[in-house]
């Protein structure tokens, strides 16, 4: 499938999907070995490795949870060089009073929102998509 760059097409076809479960943002202590198959996303920061894992994994490993989130995937194949998609959905979520942490994969954008606002976030994203048709 060809990656989409046109903003109107991205918004029209973003088709958000709410993944099941709860996800935890954690800083992995240097003495903890974490199986890479458990990691949803990661970034190495000067302070150490930050990861997103299923909340139950963080709790089982007694890792301090910095943020618990619901995970929404925009299923449109967005081009990493596309302009305006992140600004559009973050603005729509911001107007709805919903914080959002974004991870861009090669094929899709992944949004992590507060668990208790997941359905509200889905409604805001669907509304944004419908408004571009």
Residues 5-60: tens digit of each pLDDT:
999 999 999 999 999 999 999 999 988 889 999 999 999 999 999 999 999 999 99
Does residue 2 lie in a domain region? no
Range of the domain at 58: 7-131
- CATH code, domain with 11: 3.30.2130.10
Confidence of residue 133 (pLDDT cuts 50, 70, 90): low
Phi (first) and psi of residue 25, to 5 degrees: -90, 125
pLDDT tens string 61-85: 999 999 999 999 999 999 999 999 9
0.85 exceeded by pTM: yes
The Cα 32–Cα 51 span in angstroms is: 12
For the chain, what is the domain count? 1
Whether the CB-CB separation of 72 and 40 falls below 8 Å is answered with no
């Amino acid at each position: 499938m060809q990656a989409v760059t046109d903003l109107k097409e991205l918004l029209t076809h973003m088709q958000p999907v709410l993944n099941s479960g709860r996800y935890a943002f954690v800083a992995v202590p240097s003495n903890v070995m974490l199986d890479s198959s458990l990691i949803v996303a990661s970034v190495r920061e000067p302070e150490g490795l930050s990861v997103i894992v299923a909340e139950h994994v963080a709790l089982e490993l007694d890792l301090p949870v910095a943020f618990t989130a619901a995970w929404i995937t925009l299923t449109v194949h967005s081009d990493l060089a596309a302009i305006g998609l992140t600004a559009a959905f973050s603005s729509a979520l911001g107007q709805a009073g919903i914080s959002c942490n974004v991870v861009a994969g090669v094929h899709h954008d992944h949004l992590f929102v507060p668990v208790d606002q997941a359905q509200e976030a889905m409604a805001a994203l669907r509304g944004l998509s419908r408004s571009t048709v």
